[in-house]
Amino acid sequence: KEKHKILHRLLQNSTSPVEL
Amino acid sequence: SNGDASPTLTLAEHDHLAQIICKSHLETCQYLREELQEMSWQSFLQEEVEKYQNKPQEAMWQLCAVKITDAVQYVVEFAKRIDGFMDLCQNDQIVLLKAGSLEVIFVRMCRVFDSQNNTVYFDGKFASPDVFKSLGCDDLISSVFDFGQSICSLQLTEEEIALFSAFVLLSADRSWLREKLQVEKLQRKTESALQHILQKNHRDDGVLEKLRCKASALRALCGLHSEKLAAFRTVYPDAVRTLFPPLYKELFAA
């Protein structure tokens, strides 16, 4: 998880950059 | 594989799966159809090309890393909306995205590729291979453009691009997968829906085989990208460490 923390966060995020 | 990994879907289920994947693809495309239609498909002028060519190697690498990272975020959103992807364990979600996000970007590239002029949308206009000269990896760039030409020649519909992207992303033979069978099951369902759509669109029998070949070409392309990045990193370790987006490093330079 530590090694892929950004990817982990993007996968957890319910709000997509597309919606933003 | 066991019986569970060979799903048999009805025609209605195929259509439904194809519809969901196509919707996910359209919702997460960096450029919408309407935007693409409005784009003037304008190429860079010679002086603009020279501006890119005169950039220091590390600055051009940084610019491309930023563009790839932007595109990756849309691919992550696409993956999240594929039926069953979020039910996979998180290790496998990460493995599939690490291995497949750049491949999907190359598939999506056919939407913004002008095969007549051999240019691709980059940084606001359409760029020919010579725009990327200062990267110092002409073989990778010409392979990317060759791939663009060959995938454009298939004239895929949005639905076909969507299903092929999902098929590539759900590759069950990636290293380090923990629940291989689960991924295999999803990939087979996707392949089966892709086959159904190709038949429905009255495509030649050979198109699916051509797409399978494209999937192996994508692996070679991404392998070449990793090789070039490793070589660049040896010469400019600080540039990668300090200038490159963290997500790019996480995906490709970890």
**Predicted ipTM > 0.90:** no
B247 part of contact set with chain A, CB < 8 Å? yes
Among residues B142, B27, B120, B143, the alpha carbon closest in space to that of B68 is found at: B120
Whole-number pLDDT of residue B37: 81
- Using an 8 Å CB-CB cutoff, list chain A residues near B73: 10, 17
| Residues of chain B under the 50 pLDDT cut | 1-6
DSSP letter (8 states) at residue B171: -
Among residues B121, B144, B141, B146, the alpha carbon closest in space to that of B130 is found at: B141
CB interface of B with A, residues 150-209, below 8 Å:
none
Mapped onto helix, strand or coil, the DSSP state of residue B227 is helix
CA distance B248 to B254: 9
For B150-188, write each residue's pLDDT tens digit: 999 999 999 999 999 999 999 999 999 999 999 999 999
Confidence class of residue A16 from pLDDT cuts 50, 70 and 90? low
CA distance B169 to B189: 13
Whole-number pLDDT of residue B91: 96
Among residues B118, B211, B114, B116, the alpha carbon closest in space to that of B156 is found at: B211
Whole-number pLDDT of residue A20: 36
Whole-number pLDDT of residue B4: 47
What token pair was written down for A6? 């950004």
Helical spans, DSSP H, in chain B? 11-27, 33-38, 46-53, 57-80, 90-108, 138-152, 158-169, 180-200, 206-235, 237-243, 246-252
Whole-number pLDDT of residue B24: 95
Are the beta carbons of A17 and B74 separated by less than 8 Å?
A: yes
What token pair was written down for B112? 């913004």
Are the beta carbons of A4 and B27 separated by less than 8 Å?
A: no
Q: What is the mean pLDDT of chain A?
A: 74
Are the beta carbons of B94 and A11 separated by less than 8 Å?
A: yes
Query: Which of B96, B247, B248 to mutate to probe the A interface, most A CBs <10 Å?
Result: B247
Place of tokens 């969901």: B20
